[in-house]
Structure 1
Amino acid sequence: MKVYSGWFAAMLGVLISYDALAESAHVAVAANFRQSMQALVTELEKDSNHKYILSFGSSGKFYGQILHGAPYDLFFSADAVKPKAIANRGLAVSESRFTYATGRLVLLSSRMELAEPARDILTRGTFNKLAIANPKFAPYGVATLEVLEFLDRYEITKSKWVLGENIAQAYQFVDSGNAELGFVALSQVIHQKKYAGVFWLIPDSWHKPIEQQAIMLNKAKNNAAALALINFIKSNKGQNILTNYGYLTPENY
């Protein structure tokens, strides 16, 4: 689903006059989007005077902070619900809300020395701990529960769950070996050489789409750095970076 508007097209013209001015933007970013956002900003700063302050965490925590007046300029959520809710509360520029990517879920095993695939470990129950992102705060956690329901493994595995505050912490549980299995984002492992070929990509049809949306907060309406980042993400170059990190973009889903 795309959410575009005439407002954004009009504001792009502002960039021509603003681009020469060095501005900064404080960006709240869902944990699963860490590597991708860092890659995007690194590339953008090569050809721009703008600077970006990036904060990473769970979408739920950022949502709460924004409701209490946190001074972010942009919010990149791991879902579509929270940006829409922020807009409905009059805290953001409604017309700026757009879907920047759709996330993909994988099951990762820390048992790299074993030939047993992650799916078989989950099915047979031959593990002690399963790391998942807390569904109260993280959309990837919600998708994980839907997958476990689909596989009829929700109740069977519940006593083994280890909840991470966000998808980054769920990944850390597996990466450190504290959990044998974990549901994490494809973007977290796609470029990790040590995990090449040892994760299981969950079929997208097994859970609702992890539609990730961004929105501009009111204070950034005329912030050239914020506008430049949105514009770059929507460009072919930005979309290619997201695809490279394992996301589905509006053009390929």
Structure 2
Amino acid sequence: MWPSMLLAALLLGSAPLPLAADQIRVAVASNFRQAMAAAAERFEHSSGHEVVLIPGSTGKHYAQIRNGAPYDAFFAADVDKPLRLEEERRIVPGSRFTYAIGQLVLWSADPDLVDPAGEVLKSDRFRHLAIANPDLAPYGAAARSVLQALGLWDALAPKLVRGENIEQTFQFIISGNAELGFAARSQLAVPGRDFAGSSWQPSNALYPPIEQQAVLLQDSPAGRALLAFMQGEEARAIIRAYGYDSP
């Protein structure tokens, strides 16, 4: 019996053990926070790993990463910052990819304020217009492009209320601190929530595409698994449900 017992012990000792669950710290653009939370919940359930989300403006996240912030992955609201990190050799090679394409919308909680053509921007029917900081937030840069294309940037400058990121900007509009403002379409497309009000979606020709990219900053099996999941159909279906276009 001894040889059989020894063989069994050896076989048990050589059997593969389940992968240990790891924590993944993800810097995520404010506009993508809710969609990422929904996707992360599915990923956690299927993988056993824990995802910790740190939402904020893409510009601030980029600066923090360059200063050594301990993030494992970065889901930005643009292409520029992930590309810069790649050029600076701060990412896992080959990890940069587009995960969503955002859409800009002019929105007001007042159902009678914003017309289908956006002509309200040329009127005196509002005192404050909210936009995200164009120097920090890609959706703010897109809003600036729209106003410049319409020839309204200088005229509306005194009325602008600038949020640090698109999430804060949306709160300005909801709270009434600004009668209207430029938000992400995804903020109005949260499953289970019905935002009334009025809106106008500018033509894509008025602003550069809001292509959103992600990168892996620290190489690990858990991090690679998360990025692979986010490129799969299950995650893409969630992303579309939250008002984004798929790449």
Structure 2 residue identity aligned to 1:141:
G
Change (3 A) 1:98 1:195: same
Structure 1 residue identity aligned to 2:107:
L
Larger radius of gyration: 2
Note if contact 2:97-2:213 (Cα within 8 Å) is conserved in structure 1.
yes
TM-score (norm 2): 0.88
Aligned partners of 2:194 and 2:94: how far apart in 1? Answer: 42
Aligned partners of 2:123 and 2:95: how far apart in 1? Answer: 46
Note if contact 1:18-1:224 (Cα within 8 Å) is conserved in structure 2.
no
CA RMSD of aligned residues (A): 1.8
CA deviation after TM superposition for structure 1 residue 204, in Å: 1.5
Aligned to 1:229: 226
Change (3 A) 1:25 1:19: farther
Aligned to 1:80: 79
CA deviation map 1:118-137 (0-9, x unaligned): 72322323100000000110
CA deviation after TM superposition for structure 1 residue 20, in Å: 3.2
Aligned to 1:204: 204
Q: Number of residue pairs matched?
A: 230
Aligned partners of 2:152 and 2:18: how far apart in 1? Answer: 52
Note if contact 2:29-2:57 (Cα within 8 Å) is conserved in structure 1.
yes
Aligned partners of 2:193 and 2:26: how far apart in 1? Answer: 29
Structure 2 residue identity aligned to 1:231:
A
* Corresponding residue to 2:115 among 117, 125, 137: 117
Note if contact 1:20-1:49 (Cα within 8 Å) is conserved in structure 2.
no
The answer to whether structure 1 residue 244 and structure 2 residue 241 are counterparts is: yes
TM-score (norm 1): 0.86
Note if contact 1:19-1:48 (Cα within 8 Å) is conserved in structure 2.
no
The answer to whether structure 1 residue 215 and structure 2 residue 212 are counterparts is: no
Note if contact 2:27-2:74 (Cα within 8 Å) is conserved in structure 1.
yes
Which residues in structure 2 correspond to 1:21-170 (within 5 Å)? 21-112=20-111, 114=112, 117=115, 119-170=118-169
Structure 2 residue identity aligned to 1:199:
S
Q: Which segments of 5 or more consecutive residues in structure 1 lack a partner in the other structure?
A: 1-16
Aligned partners of 2:234 and 2:18: how far apart in 1? Answer: 18
Change (3 A) 1:77 1:196: same
Aligned partners of 1:115 and 1:157: how far apart in 2? Answer: 17
CA deviation map 1:99-141 (0-9, x unaligned): 11111100011323x3653723223231000000001100111
Aligned to 1:7: none
Aligned partners of 1:133 and 1:168: how far apart in 2? Answer: 8
